[in-house]
Amino acid sequence: MEGDTALHRSKAGDNVVTQPNETGAEVFNPWTHVSSLIERAGHLLGLDDGMIKRIITPERILEVAVPVRLDSGNIEMYTGWRIQHDTSRGPGKGGIRFHQSVNVDEISALSADMSIKCAVVNIPYGGAKGGVRVDPTQLSRGELERLTRRYAFSIAPVIGPETDIPAPDVNTDPQVMSWIMDTITMLRGYSAPGVVTGKPLAIGGTLGHAGATSLGVTICALALLRNLARTPEHERVIVQGYGKVGAPLVQLLSERGMKVVGVADVRGAIHVPGGIDPVALARHFAEAGTVVGFEGADVVALDDFFAIPSDIAIPAALGGVITERVATTLAASVVVEAANGPTTGEGAAVLHERGIPVVPDVLANAGGVVASYFEWAQDLQGYMWEKELFQQRLEKTMHEAFDAVWIRHGELGVNLRETALAVGVERIAEATRLRGLFP
């Protein structure tokens, strides 16, 4: 099957991160890329090949058919996945995405990212990820609910508070999590709020979850500036993406003295050299549905967005956007990855050659999974924390994670991406070694 092929491509010594598509053209393969990064981290740490293979190989790849009755009465077939990469440190944790580009290699790579991410921020989770190959914008609300519930039914045997806890991701939200929780509750005959995180408050969500990823990105950006002896005042920032992560980021960064000079969404990009008013931009977006047309802004071609004069670049949309070409023309001197896998291998190599520090996604955007951990803990305890306590613990966890990576960065003498991978792999290897091999 396709998943097996992807795994075979990541055998020891294989650092190729592209594969031919149906036309013969070479395209970026996220799974091969992530597995090669884990392999290099293992070698950096001196791990044996057997341990490296255990850490790379996903524990379970579940592919499911998702039949949905459309409003027209016709039946449409979709394909979904839930992949559990590693559970040596705790239950699997990772989002569910609904997108037309979803495939087994993408979900495998994202599940491995979650294993590393949870280990880097030192929370008791392993890594998992799920998705359905579908364009949700083409579905009615009723069709979306039926698709969600059928998918939840199909993956029900492998998810639960003690085994694997999904969360929102691309094109999924608290409502989708509510449908999944209700489906699992109906199947099992008892309330199971801990089966998903990112839920509404009324059914077991938590205060502070909204915007947690953006807050974590902000904390990492400030920590990097501090360690580079730079101050946030007047730092020019560009943010690619104006969704669940990018929109709060514009507000948070501005509040901390930075000047957001560029923002992009799927419909276009804008540049305001003097800085964007986050409140005015939010108001414009609510009315227009895009950042394009914001008063006083220059229109910028999406392909030229990262060339906007700036000091900090924050990709906060989909993966693979900082390619070799983009990295070559990037104007910023610092990158903080708010999206999952926004930089290709070739792009990362160019950034490294140019001496541009990058706070990698497995650290920078981990605020969301930390928040999910807190929500899960509250569901298991049946006790909701105050918002102030939630934010205090989130900031403490993110600061400790960044500091641990920064210290190890000095010890290992490699860039921040390789360091973060090494920290995560090291912690997974320790748990794997302590648990041993069954039987």
Q: Quick: pLDDT tens for 290-311.
A: 999 999 999 999 999 999 999 9
Q: Which of 91, 114, 83 is nearest to 340 (CA)?
A: 114
Pairing of strands 312-315, 334-336: parallel
pLDDT at residue number 17: 55
Please tell me which residue, 72 or 3, carries the higher pLDDT value. Answer: 72
Q: Residue written as tokens 């541009």?
A: 356
The catalytic residue among 129, 199, 244, 259 is 129
**Residue 172 domain-assigned (yes or no):** yes
371 is a domain residue: no
Per-residue model confidence as pLDDT tens digits over 22-66: 555 567 788 998 899 999 999 999 999 999 999 999 999 999 999
> Does the bond joining 439 to the residue before it have cis omega, within 30 degrees of 0?
yes
Of 287, 296, 249, 290, nearest in space to 269 by CA: 290
- Average pLDDT of every residue of the chain: 93
- 386, part of any domain: no
**CATH code assigned at 112:** 3.40.50.10860
> Is-catalytic flag, 387?
no
Domain coverage including residue 49:
1-57
Give dist(CA 159, CA 64) in Å, integer: 14
One domain, residues 49 and 67: no
pLDDT digits (tens, 9 = 90+) for 54-83: 999 999 999 999 999 999 999 999 999 999
How high is the pLDDT of residue 155? Answer: 98
Kindly report which listed range (39-43, 108-112, 269-273, 339-343) carries the lowest average pLDDT score: 339-343
- Same domain as 141, residue 87: yes
Judgement on whether residues 159 and 288 belong to the same structural domain of the protein: no
What is the spatial distance between Cα 371 and Cα 211, in angstroms, rounded to a whole number?
9
Residue 317 near residue 246 (C-beta atoms within 8 A): yes
Rounded distance between C-alpha atoms, residue 19 and residue 302, angstroms: 26
The sign of the dihedral angle between the CA atoms of 142, 145, 147, 150 is negative
Please report which helix (H) or strand (E) contains residue 377, including its range. Answer: helix 367-381
Query: Which SS3 state, helix, strand or coil, does residue 241 take?
Result: coil
Helix (H) or strand (E) holding 232, with range, is none
Q: Report the distance separating Cα 29 and Cα 261, nearest Å.
A: 32
Q: Looking at the structure, do residues 354 and 265 belong to the same domain, yes or no?
A: yes
State residue 259's pLDDT score: 97
Cα end-to-end distance, the chain, whole Å:
27
Which of the four pLDDT bands, split at 50, 70 and 90, describes residue 340?
confident
pLDDT over 60 (residue 12): no
Are 267 and 336 in the same domain? yes
Are residues 157 and 74 part of one domain?
A: yes
Question: Do 172 and 229 belong to one domain?
Answer: no
Report pLDDT for 281: 98
Q: Which two tokens stand for residue 301?
A: 């071609």
What Å distances lie between residue 38 and 42, 213, 349, 362, 407, CA to CA? 6, 24, 16, 12, 20
DSSP 85: E
Q: Which residue has the tokens 């670049």?
A: 313
- Give the Cβ contact number of residue 2 at 10 Å: 12
pLDDT the model gives residue 400: 98
Q: Are residues 262 and 171 in the same domain?
A: no
Total tally of structural domains belonging to the chain: 3
| Whether residue 231 is found in the same domain as residue 96 | no
Give residue-wise pLDDT tens across range 206-251: 998 888 999 999 999 999 999 999 999 989 999 999 998 999 999 9
Q: How far apart are CA 254 and CA 266, in angstroms?
A: 22
Rg (CA), the chain: 21
Predicted pLDDT at 6 = 30
End-of-domain residue from the set 37, 57, 77: 57
